[in-house]
Amino acid sequence: MTTMRTWIEINQDHFNHNISQYKKVIGNRNLSIVIKANAYGHSITHIAQLAEGNPDVHSFCVATIDEALSIRAIGAAKPILITSVLDGDPSSIINKNVSLAIYDAESARFLQSIGVKHNAIFPVHIKVDTGLSRLGIAPERARDYIRLIQSMPNLSIQGIYSHCAESNKAENSFTLQQRDLFQAVIEQLLKEGLQFPFIHFANSAATTSLDLPFCNLFRVGVGIFGLWPSLDNKLITQEKYPWFDLKPILTWKTTVRSIKEVSAGSFIGYDRTFQAKTNMRIAAIPVGYYDGYDFRLFNKASVIINGMHAPIVGRVSMNMSTIDVSHIPNIHIGNEAILMGPYSHIHPYELGLLAGNPNVREMTTKINASIARIITHTDATQKANLNAYDIQSISK
């Protein structure tokens, strides 16, 4: 029996497959993978290690200085772009091949002052707000803002970009409006003689659904982990590229730690949300909402043991959950239980729907970072002898 309480397996073969699919779409242009938020729960350091050895990955996108430094700490050397707010000491990334997003005069002046102090030049990407209305300079102010940045000798413009608000939807009029607005800004700036090493607009969904000939870098996040941005995006993508498919790379596992008999009429778990209608055999697994397993999955979801689904019964506790194993023959303490993976009923997308949350990113992102991640090369679907989950099998 393994001594690990719970662990995450990351399938390197599936990761490389997903990278190859997006690279085939964009051709000789640059693929930057988004690995913020602990690589959407997959482990920023493990994914960075895998990507460092994959020649199709050009660079990384992260949200914080700490994330950038964690990538450098493991020896990964590919370029990094920090796409969110300044959250730490910019001097810590000097000469580390890390670029920063800038979007207002205050952040630019602050970076300039740090650059002067340390006799350093910060590479920056200018963010243009085309409709998301978070960070970004207004399109009509882009030229003046660039003039301001050009007046600061310790800032070097390496790119310009924007971000989609709803590119995962089938109804794409707003996304096209954003694209056209950004393209118009770029064309005007180029006419005025400005040059940008990198121009980028697309996220995972837009990379496969939009034509973006004016872009030379693509930021792909959820897709590299084998998760579709939406069912709409899958249908649009596979109509455009019939060969395109994604393979989820994450499988979350634990082991059975206790098995007991429960009499008919007994209540199971906190708040007595489940009552046994017949005599039952239940098992305890040492995973709960502290680990990132969604509390709302109680009495709804299941895990897989010995190739069979075992329903969660009773509340998901902080560090423990109980499952009905009455129908599973030859079950023993130490048997492996699969909580989440590329299978029917436990796919992150389906678990999200069961929890009332259609955002598949949240289901993996909130998995506790302290849980061990292990790189595997085994095709988990074949090993488990289970049917792979298909997002199209679930209603929107």
Strand partners, 34: 61
- Looking at residue 264, its pLDDT comes to 97
Unique residue bearing structure tokens 């090493």:
197
Residue 283, SS3 per DSSP:
strand
Share of the chain above pLDDT 70, in %: 95
Read off the tokens for 247.
Answer: 């393979």
Read off the tokens for 322.
Answer: 């109980």
Per-residue pLDDT of 346-378, as tens digits, reads: 999 999 999 999 899 999 999 999 999 999 986
SS (H, E, C) 107-129: HHHHHHHHHHHHCCCEEEEEEEC
Q: What is the CATH number of domain 250-393?
A: 2.40.37.10
Residues with catalytic function: 36, 270
- Looking at residue 1, its pLDDT comes to 58
- Looking at residue 85, its pLDDT comes to 87
Burial code of 29-60, b = ≥16 C-beta within 10 A, e = fewer? bbbbbbbbbbbbbbbbbbbbbbbbebeebbbb
SS (H, E, C) 116-183: HHHCCCEEEEEEECCCCCCCCECHHHHHHHHHHHHCCCCEEEEEEECCCCCCCCCCCHHHHHHHHHHH
Q: Is the pLDDT assigned to residue 230 strictly greater than 50?
A: yes
For β-strands 98-102 and 122-127, DSSP reports them as parallel
Read off the tokens for 229.
Answer: 């941005």
Per-residue pLDDT of 113-159, as tens digits, reads: 999 999 999 999 999 999 999 999 999 999 999 999 999 999 999 99
pTM of the predicted model as reported, rounded to 2 decimal places: 0.93
Q: At what angle do helices 65-73 and 44-52 cross, to 10 degrees?
A: 60
Share of the chain above pLDDT 90, in %: 92
Q: What is the residue extent of each domain of the chain? A: 12-230, 250-393
Q: How confident is the model at residue 393 (pLDDT cuts 50, 70, 90)?
A: very low
Considering only the top CATH level, what class is 12-230?
alpha beta
Cα end-to-end distance, the chain, whole Å? 40
User: What is the C-alpha to C-alpha distance for residues 297 and 339, in angstroms, rounded to an integer?
Assistant: 11
Q: How confident is the model at residue 86 (pLDDT cuts 50, 70, 90)?
A: confident
* Across 280-306, average pLDDT: 97
Average of per-residue pLDDT values in the chain: 94
